[in-house]
Structure formats: C-alpha cells, structure tokens
A and B are shown apart, each in its own frame.
Chain A
C-alpha cells in the first residue's frame, strides 16, 4: 500500500529528465495522496500538477539519497494548506460525486482483491464520511501514519511539526475516527 521510500538518485543533471523520473516513479502515489487529502478528483489533479511543477523548479534543492516521497508529500501538504487558507473554506463534509464507482477520464478505482471489494461495499461510505469529518490536520496525520505508513519523524518533517505533536494529533484523530466510523456504520444499517 505505502509507496516505497527508496533513495532517489537523479541519474542525470538534466532538469527535464529529473521530472520524468519523478513522474514515472512517484506520480501515482502523489496523485493518490492528493486525492485522499482533498477528497475530489478536480482538486487532486490541480494539487498534483502544482506539486510537480514545484518539483521541477526546485529540482536542484532535492538532496540525493533522501526520501523523494517525503519531499513531495511535504510540498503537497503545504500547497494544500495554502489553498485552504486562500479559499477560507472548510473541507467538504458531503461525499463528492466522483467517490462512486464510475470512470473518470479512464482512472477507475483499482479494487481487485475480494476482501477489498467487500470492504468497499460495506465500509467505504462510512469511512469516507468519517475521514471527511476530521480536521485537515487530523486527516493528514491519519493518512500519513496509517495509509502511507510513515514514521512519526517522517510525518513531523512533512507536516512541519514536532514528533510529540504528531503523536498527540494521531491519538486524538484515531479516537475521533473510531467514533465517527461506528456512528456512520450504525446509521447506514438503519
């Protein structure tokens, strides 16, 4: 599930080649992270594009041998936070229309394992709603810790906070999430 965090060595000093390698190796992971963060395809596309343009412009500042994924996740996180401030709005609590099983420019959900399909059919909506109901910071922490499987130190580097803050936010977020999932699952059965 989590994208591999192998050291990323630019094989060439060429800026365009750097971008191509980044797109090839980390495009999907970055897009999915952006989608989970924003909750809708349109914002995920914009966020992903902006992040890779930043990567292209700042390619010389990337330190070879370090985690490229942590670097671009930090870029995505900062861009998303800036966008939210710009909009001065709240994260949508309603499910976005494109959360249903449908083709979206050819990008379909990839649930192929039977267990995943079962989970998708039974729990997808309550889990999606519960994640959407979290604060931006809480959702980000849960995504990075439980889905991307980042260490607390990596999360601290990405989010720009201390490990202690990561720990306390994650604990609160999970407590909140558990209550919400149970509530929405109970509501869906009635």
Chain B
C-alpha cells in the first residue's frame, strides 16, 4: 500500500473506514514508521481535545434545570399547535358534525327546507276563478275570466 494521505489517517482514527480499507491502513502503519508518526500526531491532537473537554466538563447548574421546568410549565401550545390539535380526528369530526347539524337546522328554519321539500301549497283563488269562468254563461264575454284550461291551449300569440 502506498502512503495514505493525512485525510485517510483521520478517517481511520475515527473508525469511519470500510473494513477492508481499515485493515489495509492498519497493516501499513505496522510497517511504515513515517505514516505511524503522522498517525500518532493526529491521535495526540484528538487526545488533547478530549483531555481538555474532560477538564472543562461541568455539572448542569441546578438553577438551570429549575428554570427549564418553570418555563415548560408556563408554556402554552403555540398557535399552530392549537390548529394542529383542532385538526385531530377526535376533535375535528364532532366539530364538523355539530357544524353540519347547525347549518342543516338553521337554514331549514328560514325556509330552505320548506322550498325544497313537500308539495307546493295550493292557491285556492286559482280554482275559484277557474270554476267561475266555467260557470259563466258568457264565458268569452269581454271581462270574463279565461278558464285556465282554454288559456293554456291557445297559441303563443293568444289567438285560438
């Protein structure tokens, strides 16, 4: 194996190589002092960083945990979360059903239901006028009420 570049040694150090690549580098380091020295320099840097981090490690301030709990207890869901909650089936279906019933009964009380259902009411004067015209001895006299049956049989221009 040729001398691996520093980048490959860094990947090897972090255990991020494929098994065959890892094995090849491992074998090469066993035989190449130059590359082993370069590897050890990278290892030393990693160890320095970890030792520094360990030395600097801190416990979480106790007041911080209490502040987080207090903030969470006061936290209300964001507006979008209320919207999300409202869209859940367990909430949305009953609300939609209630809205549909309200619309159904609400419009029905104002006549929509009445217009769309049941037979039309009978205008009694229509039949009285028709009967009167039929009983009239001068049915076609001027001013006489034209029977509805005759009126509907005329042509469009009104002529018999």
- List residues of A whose CB falls within 8 A of some B CB: 1, 16, 19-20, 23, 27-28, 30-32, 35-36, 45, 48-49, 52-53, 56-57, 99, 104-111, 113, 115-117, 119-120, 123-124, 127-128, 142, 145-147, 151-152, 167, 170-171, 174-175, 177-178, 181
Contact = CB atoms under 8 A, between A and B. Distances in A.
B42 interface: yes
A113 B45 CA distance: 19
13 contacts: A16-B72, A27-B60, A31-B60, A31-B61, A35-B56, A36-B56, A105-B61, A109-B58, A142-B49, A151-B16, A171-B10, A178-B41, A181-B48
Given A53-B72, A123-B48, A23 B65 contact: yes
Per CB-CB distance, the 6 closest pairs between chain A and chain B, nearest first, are A120-B55, A111-B55, A119-B51, A31-B60, A127-B52, A147-B53
Given A16-B72, A171-B7, A104 B61 contact: yes
Contact of B55 (A19, A49, A124): A124
B53 A36 contact: yes
Given A31-B64, A171-B6, A171-B7, A146 B46 contact: yes
B48 A107 contact: no
Contacts, number: 137
A110 B14 CA distance: 26
Contacts of A110: 54-55, 57-59
Interface residues of B, number: 39
Contacts of A178: 41, 45
Contacts of A142: 49
Interface string B6-17: 110011001110
A182 B76 CA distance: 51
B18 interface: no
A53 B68 contact: yes
Contacts of A30: 60
B52 A124 contact: yes
Contacts of A31: 58, 60-61, 64
Contacts of B73: 16
B69 interface: yes
A56 B107 CA distance: 45
